[in-house]
Each structure stands twice: as structure tokens, then as C-alpha cells.
Amino acid sequence: MVLIVLARTMSMRYGACFLLLLSSAWLSNAEDTIRPGTVVKENDTLVSAGGVFELGFFQDAVSGHVFVGIWFKNLAKKKPVWVANRDNPLEHLYANFQIRDDGNLIATDRKQAPMLVNYGRLATSSNTSATLLDSGNLILKQEGVIIWQSFDFPTDTLLPGMRLGWFRLQGAQPRRQGLLSWLSPQNPSRGTFSVGTTYKDSRKVAVWNRDVSHMDVGRLESDGFRFIFKKSFSSFNLSYTYTLQESYLTLNTVDGYDMSWLVIASTGQLDEYALQGGSLSLMRHDLCDASGKEVNATVCLEDAASRDCPDGDAFVAVNGSVASSMLALNVSIIDDFDDCELTCRTNCSCMAFAFRDDSGCWLYYGSRSDADRHSGNGVFHVRSIAASQKQGGKRRRLAVIILVSSITLGILATVVLWCFKRRHKCIFAANKVTDPKAATTIDIWKTNDVEFIGEGHNLTCFCVDTLENATDSFNAENKLGEGGFGPVYKGKLPSGQEIAVKRLSKRSVQGAKEFRNEVAVISRLQHRNLVKLLGCCIQGEEYILVYEYMINRSLDSFIFDESKQSLVDWKTRVQIIEGIAQGMLYLHKYSRLRIIHRDLKASNILLDGGMNPKISDFGMARIYGENGARAKTTKIAGTYGYMSPEYAMDGNFSEKSDVFSFGIIVLEIISGKRNISFFEADHSLNLLGYAWMLWKEGRSKEFLDATLQADSCAAGEAEKYVRLGLLCVQERAADRPDMPGFVAMAGNDAAALPLPKQPAFLS
């Protein structure tokens, strides 16, 4: 049953969200088009020709920030369907929206530099005009040809004519176009929930929470769009387009309505709206919780009215991968096969499940015919509706289950006891060691040193003999390199596993402290973009760390070596930048501990066989709590050339210090030059100054590594990544983005990037 929501309901929902900045007397001759020289001020609006949509300024009533938006003109509460400057709010006074003399759309106020709205598709002539259409689309034309449109850069609302999908499929980095929620009902800044099509199946629509897949919500089949929710406005009217360059779904209005649209709310809800004759209908869909059940008493999954499944339902193991036509829900918090099966068994909508060590429990929804269409590798389990069986058969199954469970529990108890004894022995042996600087025995984990926060750790404890054999007695031929901690050797364990062995040098001043810090930090972390610590050796005067071996060694050995630079193409460089960003995002936001690395540099980025980056060397890292993201030290540690100005000069460090170091690496990856290099005829500019000069002059392509100059993809994206790097190395820490902000900007071509301010250390 469709829920009819009138203007009063809309008023209740959005009553405190924002204030429209309109004068009591609107423009008597409302226009739908602006041209160079025309300025839309706070008391002005553009109105589409048919009076359907309106463009103007609105204010977040909580923060007071001002935004440029588009909303339905005749609805009681004008919640914007598109926002031009969601990440760059304006000041209340002197905010305006206009076409600049060079033909480009900008939003600005009296303080900040103009924010470019049509970023990525710039005008090359001043002969441009911007028109608001009755579809809600704002288009920028140059000499009569559309060069940019707001429909290609949606915010949280999908209007008819908008597309969800993937573009530039043949490029180095395909562009995903989707919806991104508001941060809150009051704040249009980027939120955490997004909606789009999946890369492997662009007919399927899914919801993500941050970068983590939350659940599939529907798929376009030959007979229409299959929505995972039981109730919907008739059916989503979607059409599908596929070419070698792009694949996308286009939303069309549902039959019987003047207009229908979809909104991803800041809470992750999917809201369907339909407008007919002045009446607004709303259907709200709450996403499923971890068990696949409905949330907030809303029917979540289709055909889920009955939770009482027939007694005796079983699951049959099937070799292969689930067909893409089935809808998937990843329940990563379920880390046990039996719990995964039970969750699916008690939800009759669940047709199949799979349990994977790396991603947990997966529940699949669809028909039996969907489940039968499988291929490829893997194993999943399909529901098999049991026929009535004899009671004796049930008793026999019960007896077998009890017997097997008893045996399993006995074996498990033995294994747990053995592991406990081994762990106790290992930790006891590792806690008391001899300090190589003093002839005393110390407890390395009990210290008041602020560099270390933590307790004993359950790591594999290697004997010196084992590591000597693995490295051929630390043979110089196996030496991979040497840092402040000591030399690093390649080794091979008896199992055949290759390892990297870092041995504390007796000359290392901070070695023991770094050793404690490294073990304290990295042993608790697990991420694909962090190097994995396999174990350690603390025996006599030996302090040794054992890591996974990275076959391609460190990033600096590629990007700064002229003989290897050509091996790292643009796509790989972007992959490396994004991988480092994901690792830093994990350290700053999502790990069990919040980590500031403090020594991020190209030589501390290791590369595996697939050129995937892994952050290493946590000897200088600091652990901080939720409210301790800033600190000060009198002992400056790290590498000059990568240090932020506030850290190098005053000893102040924070997440933004790491962001500065990361920005240096981004610029080094793009250019193939070290930050300590100097440029221009008088050698007055370092790498940051050179990047800043070229970017200001619109010559970002010249900043590219010489091996990339002929790469069309690199040339097309040079300005974006140079700008991202410059945003990270701005003088003031407060001006730099945090890692979530960087990841969001790098992954979304629809983002209108802020203009960077002058970087640090220009002279």
C-alpha cells in the first residue's frame, strides 16, 4: 500500500534542516538561463521554464553554512535534490553563483577563492550559458553544445534521466557514477552511504557504507527491475545501456505519476518519492540489519512475511559461484559457518549462503532457478526443501550429530590446551630479555616510555638459529637494504616461505625503543595495504623482526630509478596512490588502534608481486585515542623532506602530519622526482614549489614523469592528482584534507575539488 505524504509531513521531516535564502519578493521575471556577467546572488533564483525546479542558495540552520542547490519549486519544503558545493560551503554574506569571464561556472563569497562547479569539463570559450531545465538538470553549453551537466554529478537524489553506472571503461581508472548521502539531514556534505551499480554486474544496484559493500538492493532483469524490498511503487522503471566505454542504468518516471525519484538518506535508508497532481507519495525502505531481518518494523525482503520455515529444510553444497542475478547480503560480523547457516535457515527468503574466511557470511536471495545457474569456482549452499521424513530418520541424524559434536569438542579442547601452553611459553620467553646496551635483564613491555602503549603480544617466536639458517648466516648477498633500525635480509624458512628479516644494529640509538614500538603497533593491525609482521626473535643481544617478503621491494626503487620508471605506468601509479591511501585510512580511522605513522616516505612503501603497496616501518608510530589526535614531542624523529612544517619546526604532530607526508609521496609518484630535487634555471624551487607553479599556470601535464608524457590517460588526470597532492601539502594543517576526505575525492570524479592554498617549504 502506497503511503501518501502531504506537504505537512514533508514539513515535519525537513522543518529544521535548512533555511532558503530568498527575499520576500522573488525576481518578478524569473529566468532559467545565465550568461557570463550574470550573477545569481543570495536573493535571486533561477527557475526552469515550466516552473518545476528552482536554483538558489540555502543555509544549513545548524552550522550557518551556505550552499547552492536545486529543489522542486512548488513543494512546501524545498529539500535540495542537487548541491553544487557540498564540500565547499560559502559564507552567508556576499555568496554568489555565476559564469566567470572564461565561461566556467563558479560559486564564491567574499573570503574564499572561487570554487569551480564544472570541474573536469572546462569551457574553452567565453561563449557559454547555463540553463536550468524542467527535468532538474543544470546544463552548461558552449556555442550551443552541452559540455557539462549536473545530472552527471548527482548528490543524494536520483531524478528521472539520471544514470547509475560506470564510464570510461577503457581508461586507466573507470569512473563510477552514483549517489552519495548527506552527512546528516541538516548537512549536505558527503555522508557515508552510497548507491550505485556493481562493477562486475552493472545491472545490479547496491548500497555501500563508506567503501564497504553493505547489501544489494535490486537487479534489472528481462522482465523488469527486481527490488529486494517487498513493497515499491509498482516497479522501478529503469533502462540499461552498455557499450565498450560505459555501462549504466537510467531512471525513468513510473507510469501513472508526474515524476518519481529515489533518495539515499544520511542514515542509509532508501526513500522512493512519487509526485502526482500535487500529492507527494513516499515509500521508505530501511536496509536490512546484519541478520537479514527488517529494521524499524519495515518489511525488508520480498516474500519475507513468514519466518517459520518448513521443518527439515536442509542445505546442499554446490560447487561454483552464485549467479549474479541473485541478490547478496554480506554479514561480515558472522564469523562461523554454523551461525551463517542458521541465519539463512531461519529466514525463508534466504535461498542460499556461503561462508568465506576472508569476508564472513554471505546470504543470497532469489529463486531456485537463480541458484541453479552457477558457474566458476567456489562453494555455496542451496536450500533444499525437505520432504516429510520418518521420525526414526530424525533420531538417527540426531545421534550422529551428538556423536560428531562430542568428538569435535574433545579435539578442540586438546588443541586449545596445547595452544595455550605454547603461547604461555612463548610470551614468557619473550618478556624477559637482555638489553644489548646494558648487562641487565629488563621487561621490554613494562615501560613508561610514551613511544609505547600496549601489552605483551602473541607472536611467533623465532630462534636465532632458525633465522641464521634462513638468511645463510645473514650473508651480505641476501641483504636487501639498511635503515636506521638496522640491515634487512631476505630469507627462506624450512617450509619454503620467503621472509624479510630486520636485524637491530648495535649502532642503532633508538633501536630497542623502535623494536618495542613496531611490535606493539603492527602486531595488532591487519590490512591488505600494511606489511604483515610474521614474528620476532628476542634472544641474548639479538632483536630481530620477521616480515612477509615483498618481491618488488620498495616504491623508491622504481619511481626514482630511470631504468625502472617505464615499468610503472599511469594505471599502476594510481593503484599505488589509492592503496597507500586505503592503508592510511585504516590506520587513522578504522584499526583497533588509531595510529599516526610519523615516518611515511617512499622507501617505507613496499610493493608485492602485483605492485600493490604495503606501508611498513612503524618504529616511529604513535598510538592515540579518540580524543588524542594531536600531540607534541621534543624529539623530532622522521625524515626531512617528508615532515610537515608544524612537526619539523615545533614538534606538533597529528593525522594531518601523515597527510602532509602522503601528499609528498603522491607528488613523487606522479613526477618520478624526489622532493629534495630542485627545478627551474636558478634551482630556486623544490618539488612542491615546482608543482605549485605548474598547477597555477595550468601546466600540470608537464609535472608528469617523462615516461608518462605520451600517456593520454595520465595527461587527462594529471591536473586532478597534482591538485590532490597539493591539497595534502598545504602550509596549515587545518587546510589539509583528512584521509577519508582524500579517498572520497580521489574515488569520485564528480567531486568539485577545492582549490589548494600555497604549500609549505616553498623556499
Task: List, by residue number, the catalytic residues.
Answer: 599
Quick one: how far is CA 116 from the chain centroid?
24
Nearest Cα to Cα of residue 172 among 708, 699, 724: 708
Residues 510 and 638 sit within 8 Å (Cβ to Cβ): no
Count of CB atoms situated within 10 Å of the CB of 126 = 15
Asked if 140 and 148 touch (Cβ cutoff 8 Å), the reply is yes
Signed CA dihedral, 451, 456, 458, 464: sign only: positive
Q: 398: buried, middle or exposed (CB in 10 Å: 19+, 13-18, 0-12)?
A: exposed
Which residues in 347-407 belong to E strands, given as ranges? 350-356, 360-365, 375-384
Q: What angle do the packed helices 712-728 and 655-671 form, to 10 degrees?
A: 150
Distance CA(668)–CA(554), nearest Å, equals: 14
Strand partners, 652: 632
Cα–Cα distance for residue pair 119/227, rounded to 1 Å? 34
From CA 453, how far away is CA 624, in angstroms rounded?
A: 9
Cell of 461: 617466536
Query: Hey, what's the cell of 96?
Result: 554568489
**Closest by CA position to 301, among listed 340, 347, 262:** 347
In which element (H, E) is residue 654 found?
strand 652-654
Q: How far apart are CA 30 and CA 2, in angstroms?
A: 35
Residue 541 corresponds to which cell in the numbers above? 643481544
Q: In whole angstroms, what is the distance from residue 249 CA to residue 234 CA?
A: 18
CA 246 to each of CA 163, 242, 356, 475, 572: distance values in angstroms, whole numbers, following the listed order: 11, 6, 31, 54, 22
Helix 687-696 / helix 655-671 crossing angle, nearest 10 deg: 70
Beta strand 66-72 with 375-384: parallel, antiparallel or unpaired? unpaired
Q: Which residues contact 424 (CB under 8 A, 6 or more apart)?
A: none
Task: State the Cα–Cα distance between residues 642 and 621, nearest whole angstrom.
Answer: 15
Q: How far apart are CA 521 and CA 618, in angstroms?
A: 7
Query: 659 with 742: CB under 8 angstroms?
Result: yes
HEC per residue, 674-718: CCCCEECCCCCEEHHHHHHHHHHCCCHHHHCCHHHCCCHHHHHHH
Buried b (16+ CB within 10 A) or exposed e, 157-169: bbbbebbbbbbeb
3 state SS of 510: coil
Determine which helix (DSSP H) or strand (DSSP E) holds 739, and give its type and residue range. Answer: helix 739-747
Where helices occur in 471-586 by DSSP H, the ranges are: 511-522, 556-559, 570-585
Q: Measuring CA to CA, how many Å separate 305 from each of 229, 300, 308, 348, 633?
A: 11, 9, 9, 9, 60
